[in-house]
Amino acid sequence: MSENIVDLSIIIVNWNTRDILWDCLKSVFDQTQDITFEVIVVDNASSDNSVKMVKSEFPQVVLVENKENRGFAAANNQGMQIAKGRYVLLLNSDTIVLDGAIQKTLVFADQHPEAAVVGCRVLNPDKSLQPTCFMVPSLLNLFLSSSYLYKLFPRSRFWGRERMTWWDRDDVREVEVVTGCFMLVRKDAISQVGMMDESFFMYAEETDWCYRFKKAGWNLLFTPDAQIVHLGGQSSKKVRSDMILQARAGILYFIKKHYSYVKYILCCILFSLHAFLRVPYWLFVSIVGTDKAYAKATMKTYLKGALYPLGGWRSLSCKKEG
């Protein structure tokens, strides 16, 4: 790749998703036209020959090989440190780019210089809408989300406020958080605000980043004109129970970092209560259900989720449990 600046640096963090990474890269190169771009794959010590695949099938890709799993934030930061683009696009390995989505988003971003971050429309594999973009965590938003009442009243702007369940993602809109599976970020904004906080190992790092952009006076926008498919959780599903805890630890770290200590303690109690109330149900299912092993594992996860916040969740980055 030339040392000259390009329009876009596409950064893909990979951990043991070789086959879907191939699909993702193929779609990027097939669907991205009329802009100059580079692709940077940061591999977090995969053991499934992902690195070998990239080297043999996509030699034009800039490949960073980590000796250990450094997490999503740190790996993306590695990519950004060597990126030559005016923009960077954080793209999950379990995505498929549709119909020129990348250049469409780039054109939109150029038309909106006030935007630090731009997100696009995300679809499930069956092409149904996958709701993305949401509000930053707060005590109220976490309470509403934990209540699950947004599932009963999805069109309610109150009960569905945290996940914006009432919104069909069909118009241009300013949002508080752009989901990290497809996140186009202006390099000038990164220079002002800094890169991702590596204290987040996985989950909530994009929330923290968006919050910092907003505080610095930048906008965050969503455009429905570009679309991708997102399979969802292909790395995290390999360690699902750990990732449930990881997500909660990330949110609690966000709360502790940006809000008062009182709010942090209240959120710890809320998370603990939310998890504890689910333990009896999964205990019952583990006794009488057909898939006792799954129910028992889920019960243990919720039990950990109930106990960890009460101890302040010492390892808030969740790089290690507890």
Are residues 306 and 179 part of one domain?
no
Residue 322 within a domain: no
How far from 116 is each of 74, 113, 251, CA to CA, in Å?
A: 20, 8, 22
- The CATH code of the domain that includes 51 is 3.90.550.10
Are residues 274 and 189 part of one domain?
no
Other beta carbons within 10 Å of 31: 17
**How confident is the model at residue 237, as a pLDDT?**
47
Residue 141 within a domain: no
Domain that holds residue 242: 236-311
Closest listed residue to residue 154, CA positions, set 184, 131, 126, 135: 131
Residue 143 within a domain: no
Are residues 195 and 124 part of one domain?
yes
Are residues 91 and 15 part of one domain?
yes
Residue 82 within a domain: yes
Q: C-alpha 203: how far from its chain's center?
A: 6
Question: How many structural domains does the chain have?
Answer: 2
Are residues 203 and 240 part of one domain?
no
pLDDT along the chain (322 residues), means of 10: 79 95 98 97 96 97 95 94 97 97 98 98 95 93 87 91 94 96 97 94 89 98 97 57 79 93 92 92 93 91 88 50 34
Q: How far apart are CA 89 and CA 180, in angstroms?
A: 10
Residue/partner pairs of 239-242 with CB below 8 Å, 24 or more apart: 241/297, 241/298, 241/300, 241/301, 242/318, 242/321
Last residue in a domain, options 205, 230, 255: 230
Exposed/middle/buried for 80, CB within 10 Å: 0-12, 13-18, 19+?
A: buried
Q: How far apart are CA 250 and CA 115, in angstroms?
A: 25
Residue 142 within a domain: no
Provide the angle, in degrees to the nearest 10, between the axes of the packed helices 18-31 and 50-57: 30
Exposed/middle/buried for 55, CB within 10 Å: 0-12, 13-18, 19+?
A: middle
What 3-state DSSP class applies to 7? strand
Are residues 195 and 90 part of one domain?
yes
Are residues 174 and 73 part of one domain?
yes
Residue 44 within a domain: yes
**How confident is the model at residue 236, as a pLDDT?**
44
**How confident is the model at residue 311, as a pLDDT?**
74
Report the alpha-carbon angle 306-150-294, nearest 5. 45
Are residues 303 and 201 part of one domain?
no
**How confident is the model at residue 233, as a pLDDT?**
54
Residue 148 within a domain: no
How far from 13 is each of 24, 169, 208, 264, 287, CA to CA, in Å?
A: 12, 26, 18, 30, 40
Q: How far apart are CA 29 and CA 297, in angstroms?
A: 41
Are residues 225 and 242 part of one domain?
no
Asked if residues 88 and 185 have their Cβ atoms less than 8 Å apart, the reply is yes
Element (H, E) at 222: strand 219-230
Last residue in a domain, options 208, 230, 252: 230
**How confident is the model at residue 319, as a pLDDT?**
44
Last residue in a domain, options 211, 230, 249: 230
**How confident is the model at residue 312, as a pLDDT?**
63
Are residues 181 and 55 part of one domain?
yes
Those residues with Cβ within 8 angstroms of residue 267's Cβ, 6 or more apart along the chain or in another chain: 137, 139, 142, 251, 252, 255, 309
Amino acid at 253: Y
Are residues 289 and 203 part of one domain?
no
- CA torsion angle 104 122 199 13 (round to 10): -70
Are residues 112 and 60 part of one domain?
yes
Residue 321 within a domain: no
Q: How far apart are CA 223 and CA 63, in angstroms?
A: 30
